[in-house]
Structure 1
Amino acid sequence: MQQSEMQLRQAIVTACQNMNSLGINQGTSGNISVRCGDKVLITPSATPYEDMTPEMIAEMPLDGEYGAWSGPLKPSTEWRFHYDILRARPDMSAVVHAHPTYCTTLAIARRPIPPVHYMIASFGGMDVRCSGYATFGTAELSTLALEALQDRTACLMANHGMIALGESLEKAMWRAVELEAIARQYCLSLTIGEPVMLSEAEIDEALAKFSDYGLKAAE
């Protein structure tokens, strides 16, 4: 069942309020966007999650002037990559950006996540890439994120954090949590020796199973 705009707005607020308890963010550094027809709904800038209401969510027309927005509060300073991703990826309907500890640790080291666990397949390929670095909120950062997300549903962002995409907000949140779990497992495995990587055939087999099973966990 398609959600109404008000339901999507409330879902964004709820997801923001859940990010910290889920372990994928600290403070108010994360931001979320959702496709709603021909526009993007996105979290407002510098607004504490506990004070956020559905009416505060900003909206940006996908076919209008680039950067145009409406609402009582301006959109997140990271609006560019949210907007650019949703415009470039019609297969995706939601973007979750956050600074989870283990994802950000790997991003600081500028290390992608290799195929250390079969769940890596839930992000579309053999790895989760780490984008290059650019100042937050810039067009350059958006370009680098889009490159790292090519044929993927998540990426790390150098010295910054992570992005997870979803066919719905629920799936984007699910991927964000899974990504932090794998990042933690990878970091811990590095402390006890050299992690054993799965083969391309093994990841392909897992990917095939996800097409009719794995992502139902997020529905």
Structure 2
Amino acid sequence: MMEYEKEQVVRYGKKLIDRRLTTGSGGNISVYNREQNLVAISPSGLDYYETTPEDIVILDIDGNLVEGKNRPSSEAGMHLAFYKNRADVSGIVHTHSKFATAIACMGWELPAVHYLIGMAGHRVKCTGYATYGSDELAKKALETIGDSNAVLLANHGLIALGEDVDRAFSTAEHLEFVSEVYYLTKTLGTPNILSDENMDEVMKKFGTFRYR
């Protein structure tokens, strides 16, 4: 069941480690097959390089276990909330990447210090704090993200959405770069932030433009 989606979760889990977007078994990945109404999600607590397609958990959109011997990621509820409420999303990547997490630990939003933020939106907002894996965190993330493709989770990390997992991963990776640039520019002085009008043009080119 869902062999292609399982293989994608395994593949992108390894890329999380390779691209230094998390450590250990931190973060999580899911892929939603809208035709089957099923979600393939990474298991809880397994090393990404030891995870096989047989370890991936299959849930229905209400969170019921359909297939798998492992516990699903502790953030399964947050993934499902996005899939239920965002018809444009079929892949989700949650990272504990260093610079994005640092911004989240400050409780700051990530502004348009570099045009590549346009993969997510005009800015990336930050939720209020809630315990990992909780319904409260899922609710805060959904309320905060709006129609953006990413949101910072206070004192926790980043979650990125995409029309597929490749797009979600690319967004997460580019936002880590933007977060590092923001960190560096803050150490130099006051960053020059692009205007909404500047970002409108960027997002039209990216194909991510949405009217504010």
Q: When the two structures are superposed, what TM-score results if normalisation uses the length of structure 2?
A: 0.93
Instruction: Answer yes or no: is 1:92 the counterpart of 2:92.
Output: no
Alignment partner, residue 188 of structure 1? 184
Q: Which of 150, 165, 170 does residue 169 from structure 1 map onto?
A: 165
Letter in 2 for 1:183: S
Deviations 1:19-69 (CA, angstroms, capped at 9, x unpaired): 11112111111110110231111111111112211111111111xxx3311
1:159 maps to which of 155, 158, 161: 155
1:49 corresponds to: 48
One-letter amino acid matched to 1:147: E
Equivalent residue for 1:80?
77
| Mapped pair 1:209 → 2:184 | no
Q: Which amino acid aligns with 1:60?
A: L
| Separation (CA, whole Å) in 2 of partners of 1:211 and 1:98 | 24
Cα offset for 1:142?
0.1
1:33 and 1:16 mapped to 2: Cα distance? 10
| Residues in 2 aligned to 1:190 and 1:104: alpha-carbon distance in whole angstroms | 16
CA RMSD of aligned residues (A): 1.3
- After superposing on structure 2, the runs of 4+ consecutive aligned residues of structure 1 that deviate more than 2 Å are none
Q: Which runs of 5+ in 1 are unaligned?
A: 213-219
- The 2-side partners of 1:201 and 1:77 are apart by 39
TM-score (norm 1): 0.90
How many residue pairs align between the two structures?
205
Q: 1:113 aligns with which of 110, 114, 134?
A: 110
1:27 to 2:31 alignment: no
Identity %: 37
Q: Where does structure 2 lack aligned partners over 5 or more consecutive residues?
A: none
Contact map agreement 1:103 1:162 (CA 8 A) in 2: yes
